[in-house]
Amino acid sequence: MMLDRLRQAVDAGFAQQTAFLTELVKFPSTRGEEAPLQDWMARQLAARGYSVDRYVLGDLDMSHLPGFSPVLDTDYSRAVQVVGTRRAAAPTGRSLIIQGHVDVVPTGPTALWSAPPFSGDAKGEWLHGRGAGDMKQGVSAMVFALDAIRAAGLELTADIHVQTVTEEECTGNGALSTLARGYRADAVLIPEPTDATITRAHVGVMWFRLRVRGVPVHVARAQAGSNAIMSAYQLILALQRHTEQLNAAARQDPWFGGIPDPLKFNPGVIRGGDWASSTPAWCEVDCRIGLLPGSTLEDARRGVERCVAEAARADGFMANNPPDIIWNGFQADGYVLEPGSDAERVLAEAHQAVFGAPMEERRSTAVNDTRFYGLYHHMPALCYGPRGINVHGFDEAAHLPTLQQVTLAIACFVTEWCGVREVG
Amino acid sequence: MMLDRLRQAVDAGFAQQTAFLTELVKFPSTRGEEAPLQDWMARQLAARGYSVDRYVLGDLDMSHLPGFSPVLDTDYSRAVQVVGTRRAAAPTGRSLIIQGHVDVVPTGPTALWSAPPFSGDAKGEWLHGRGAGDMKQGVSAMVFALDAIRAAGLELTADIHVQTVTEEECTGNGALSTLARGYRADAVLIPEPTDATITRAHVGVMWFRLRVRGVPVHVARAQAGSNAIMSAYQLILALQRHTEQLNAAARQDPWFGGIPDPLKFNPGVIRGGDWASSTPAWCEVDCRIGLLPGSTLEDARRGVERCVAEAARADGFMANNPPDIIWNGFQADGYVLEPGSDAERVLAEAHQAVFGAPMEERRSTAVNDTRFYGLYHHMPALCYGPRGINVHGFDEAAHLPTLQQVTLAIACFVTEWCGVREVG
């Protein structure tokens, strides 16, 4: 009966939810540009009766907190975070944080998209756009699952915090800030696009910048110079070999042993030189590398530093002009959701009820924000959400039928976890 | 006696010449930013009594002319060229074009310079700065050699054109424009920093941009994507092997056979990707490659295109997503100054008189503007000038004692070539 009441409410609200998601996608909320979306979100939550805490990362000192990632070139005075809270009058159930991120990764060349990436174009079962999948649809599921509970004539008997954060794609400092500000709960749900699976474990991720020098000379005398672009390539090859060794060792890992090459190394951005006819004097490569849960960031950094130092020593120029490594962005631990929590059991039951099949689990070779709650604050932190395709790629899209079901599953989970009572 | 009169005048003017060179160096005349310098130069020439023709490249249609190089992203409405002419009342001697370029290559990271690159800082025998060596000192030599002739009480009995152009470092379209505009003479002198040698031959140069695509995916699924940065490196390696083959064949060349690896390939600028955690969807590399005099640009382009196509075919992704090659910038033929011209003989005598030693020759593995005059218009085009160090590198500098001697040698050459008469 409860399921039917909630289903009716979710279905009745789904046209509005799709419109809400379209609005969300239309905000070009790439890193540093999320503030207008967050302002809009704060108004949306306030209009629904949430008590809204809107603040910017620049207001907080977090550099001493576990999980903090250093940043370059990002203006935290514009990094708006939003926490909407609905407090139960006389709490009897278990409190919940439900969180989504609104930052999106860059679009890449827009010519390679079928429709403009911030148009919110919908075709049949799919709603396209950068961030439609990862994870603006999840944000719509959070908001509309709770709307459905109200629409079904119910109210929660525990506190709930609805959090939309930034920086998930690069540092996690948005999620960290909600903890720094003091928000806590008995469980956390983050509806990343998991295709209705629960994330059992995710790897850690580190970002770093390689900075290589060269000796610029007129190319007519190229043998007298040193080409920083080619030096950078030597370091990339060395890091690829290093990653192969890490993955060989990862075959013994209890969580990731069964996944081929779970630790990815990615040279993602490169810039170097300024003139075709001069040997380039500098080259910078922004890189990403994974690490296993349970291993330490410190050890992983030392591994990268040793690899780069050895490659540099083997090179005539770099031996005397060692490259720099700048640890900038993600310094993110891996995380394992230990099996057996009540929160997971309640979510699995909600999933079974909606999908008619058991909730499967996945292991993720990328991070998400659950680590802050689970690893540093021992709250069960569930990563479970709808289905997205081409996440971080061209023609990213949200699958609307799955979104509708997951919204219902979340509504069921919340009613069971927090408890509900009939509204007068 | 003539030598002594000219030497006295050059020496008397050298403090002023050094100040003139310092002014020139202070203009940050990188590509596209030369106009203020050229405006100043036009005033300098007008003040000396030259008839001045100042125009911009955007005024001319040159795309049909041999030697023209296509450009991207450069605003030719701001590309100011200057031709100062002094016409002889009753010409009896041989006319001369004396030309220098005022564009300079980028500075690279200024932190790596001992003094700011546009400060015109002088230390002992050296005047530092980007362009001090290549070739603002040569421009000062042109202007002050002619000033010295006047100061010595002489005037030329033939027409002379004093030309300052741009685009020498990237296309040569500045020099080409003076020919398009109709300037011709019986000989041409370009005082590039040759350390008082004559340039017997120079290679040709082509610029091109490699544009490689990739498939961006979240790095968690990196095996499903294709990394454009790594694809670009495959092409660079293939072009390095191609260049080795070209240099093996060059051992048979009459002019460059004795020079190890005269044909340089340089990946000079790289840009790719926009996010550390996404496989990069694009990468562009601006490249430079040489060719021998006598070989054709068309053949050289076909060689590059074949090399890139073969490397692409060997790669799973690039085979179906072939990279683009954009021929942008230098499409410059090589040039040989055939021995035996009167102009060269007169210059050699002037050099011998000033330096007390024969003028040596060099073969250059980079282009200069003489090709336009020599190759397409059959004027003897002499490249001979002062001494510069760290050209295109950090702490570029002009060697002032050599500059003073070369200025005198040029004055001697001009008086002999054009003829002079005493001014009343």
- Measured in degrees and rounded to the nearest 5, phi and psi for residue A418 equal -85, -25
- Interface test with chain B among A227, A269, A390, by most B beta carbons within 10 Å: A269
- For chain B, the residue count is 424
Tens digit of each residue's pLDDT (9 = 90 or more) over A326-350: 999 999 999 999 999 999 999 999 9
State the Cα–Cα distance between residues B158 and B87, nearest whole angstrom: 7
* pLDDT for residue A218 is more than 80: no
State the Cα–Cα distance between residues A190 and A141, nearest whole angstrom: 10
Confidence at residue B224, expressed as pLDDT on a 0 to 100 scale: 67
- CB nearest B392 (choices: A216, A223, A364): A216
CB contact under 8 A, B264 and A105: no
Which amino acid makes up residue A230? M
pTM given for the model: 0.93
State the Cα–Cα distance between residues A237 and B231, nearest whole angstrom: 13
Q: Is B215 on the interface with A (CB under 8 A)?
A: yes
> Taking residues B164-191, what's their average pLDDT?
98
Residues facing B98 on adjacent strands: B162, B189
Q: Which of B315, B325, B324 is nearest to B226 (CA)?
A: B315
**A133 confidence band (pLDDT: 50, 70, 90):** very high
| Shortest Cα distance, chain B CAs vs residue A8, angstroms | 35
State the Cα–Cα distance between residues A274 and B109, nearest whole angstrom: 10
Tens digit of each residue's pLDDT (9 = 90 or more) over B273-288: 999 999 999 999 999 9
State the Cα–Cα distance between residues B42 and B82, nearest whole angstrom: 6
* pLDDT for residue B17 is more than 80: yes
* pLDDT for residue A224 is more than 80: no
The structure tokens listed for A127 are 């709603």
* pLDDT for residue B218 is more than 80: no
* pLDDT for residue A222 is more than 70: no
Q: How many CA atoms lie within 13 A of B396 on its CB side?
A: 28
Q: Is A58 on the interface with B (CB under 8 A)?
A: no
Q: Is A103 on the interface with B (CB under 8 A)?
A: no
Tell me the pLDDT of chain B averaged across its residues: 96
**B360 confidence band (pLDDT: 50, 70, 90):** very high
CB contact under 8 A, A275 and B269: yes
Q: Which of residues 377-406 of B touch A (CB under 8 A)?
A: 390-394
Contact B131, B8 (CB under 8 A): no
CB contact under 8 A, A277 and B271: no
> Taking residues A160-184, what's their average pLDDT?
98
**B225 confidence band (pLDDT: 50, 70, 90):** confident
* pLDDT for residue B303 is more than 70: yes
Q: List the single residue in B with minimal CA-CA distance to A104.
A: B275
Which residues in chain B have their CB less than 8 angstroms from residue A227's CB? 266-267
* CB contacts < 8 A (A, B): 201
**A223 confidence band (pLDDT: 50, 70, 90):** low
Cα A69 from chain centroid (whole Å) = 14
Residues 6+ apart with CB under 8 A from A119: A25, A26, A128, A129
| Shortest Cα distance, chain B CAs vs residue A192, angstroms | 13
Confidence at residue A150, expressed as pLDDT on a 0 to 100 scale: 97
User: What is the ipTM metric for this complex?
Assistant: 0.91
Q: Is B55 on the interface with A (CB under 8 A)?
A: no
- CB nearest B282 (choices: A108, A267, A364): A108
Cα B404 from chain centroid (whole Å) = 21
Q: Which of A17, A285, A335, A34 is nearest to A169 (CA)?
A: A34
* pLDDT for residue A189 is more than 70: yes
Confidence at residue B223, expressed as pLDDT on a 0 to 100 scale: 67
User: Any alpha helices (H) in B33-82, and if so which ranges?
Assistant: 35-47
The DSSP string of B83-112 is EEEE--SS--S--EEEEEE--B-----GGG
CB contact under 8 A, B278 and A266: yes
- Measured in degrees and rounded to the nearest 5, phi and psi for residue A54 equal -115, 125
Tell me the pLDDT of chain A averaged across its residues: 96
Q: List the single residue in A with minimal CA-CA distance to B204.
A: A220
> Taking residues B109-134, what's their average pLDDT?
94
Opening angle at CA B232, ends B228 and A393, nearest 5: 5
- The mean-pLDDT minimum among A3-12, A225-234, B397-406 falls in A225-234
Residues 6+ apart with CB under 8 A from B14: B144, B404, B407
